[in-house]
A and B are shown apart, each in its own frame.
Chain A
Amino acid sequence: GAVVSQHPSRVICKSGTSVKIECRSLDFQATTMFWYRQFPKQSLMLMATSNEGSKATYEQGVEKDKFLINHASLTLSTLTVTSAHPEDSSFYICSSGTGGLDYGYTFGSGTRLTVV
């Protein structure tokens, strides 16, 4: 089945630094990648949608200059949290559809970001 590989699974960084999270589609071409954020005991909140070769579309309230998304190829999308602050600490998950809406969505294993 379709697999989305997400790295790193866990990262701790200092305030003010930037962190990059990668999501790779291993056996399919991900023309679209979705990036979610999840707070403790809450559901997933869509942050942005990235499309290969074009600018990402951000949800209302999400700072595009803080959460930089790059989708330069059909198999790789990255989320960079710039100038991280403790309030950015969260669980970030990427997702992609394997065949449009007919086959549902596959999720990465998530990245636990802790900013100290």
Chain B
Amino acid sequence: KQEVTQIPAALSVPEGENLVLNCSFTDSAIYNLQWFRQDPGKGLTSLLLIQSSQREQTSGRLNASLDKSSGRSTLYIAASQPGDSATYLCAVSGYSTLTFGKGTMLLVSP
């Protein structure tokens, strides 16, 4: 059974800092890995999707990497802003399944 772990569970940083969120998974037989953002009381917004054959994806200030063999992914956020404050979820897609981590709650203070 796939298990997804996200570290840290919570992170508080001052505005402008670069930061890294970590995601690890136990079964490397995945189709893709997706990073989501969730604001309080809201649904999920997809940030980046990395196919199993890819090593990284970039969108603006966000960069996600994938090391499938070691079961790890990182989400790098450059020059963090208060608007980045949210919970970030990592989800791994297997055959007909999508397994989520518990998320990292990020707070960026002005």
Chains A and B bind each other: yes
**A44 engages B46 (CB within 8 Å):** no
Residue interface mask A100-116, B partner, CB < 8 A = 1: 01111111111010000
Task: Kindly count the residue-residue contacts between A and B in the assembled complex, taking CB atoms under 8 Å apart.
Answer: 48
B81 on the A face (CB < 8 A): no
**B34 engages A104 (CB within 8 Å):** yes
B76 on the A face (CB < 8 A): no
Tell me whether chain B's interface is mostly helix, strand or loop, or mixed: strand
Which residues in B have their C-beta under 8 angstroms from that of A95? 44, 98
Contact residue range for chain B?
Answer: 20 to 34
C-alpha gap A106/B51 in the complex (Å): 16
Interface residues of A, count at CB 8 A:
21
Partner of A93, one of B32, B43, B46, B49: B43
Q: Say whether, besides A91-B41, A102-B51, A107 and B36 are in contact (CB < 8 Å).
A: yes
**A43 engages B43 (CB within 8 Å):** no
A110, closest chain B residue (CB) = B43
B100 on the A face (CB < 8 A): yes
Q: Say whether, besides A101-B31, A101-B32, A104-B34, A42 and B43 are in contact (CB < 8 Å).
A: no
**A34 engages B98 (CB within 8 Å):** yes
Closest-CB distance, B60 to chain A (whole angstroms): 16
Closest-CB distance, A3 to chain B (whole angstroms): 11
Partner of A109, one of B31, B42, B102, B103: B42
Which residues in B have their C-beta under 8 angstroms from that of A91? 41
C-alpha gap A42/B44 in the complex (Å): 14
A78 on the B face (CB < 8 A): no
**A43 engages B46 (CB within 8 Å):** no
C-alpha gap A26/B98 in the complex (Å): 22
Which residues in A have their C-beta under 8 angstroms from that of B44? 44, 93, 95, 107
Given contacts A34-B98, A44-B89, A105-B93, 10 further A-B contacts (CB under 8 A): A43-B89, A44-B44, A46-B97, A46-B98, A49-B96, A93-B44, A104-B49, A105-B91, A110-B42, A112-B41
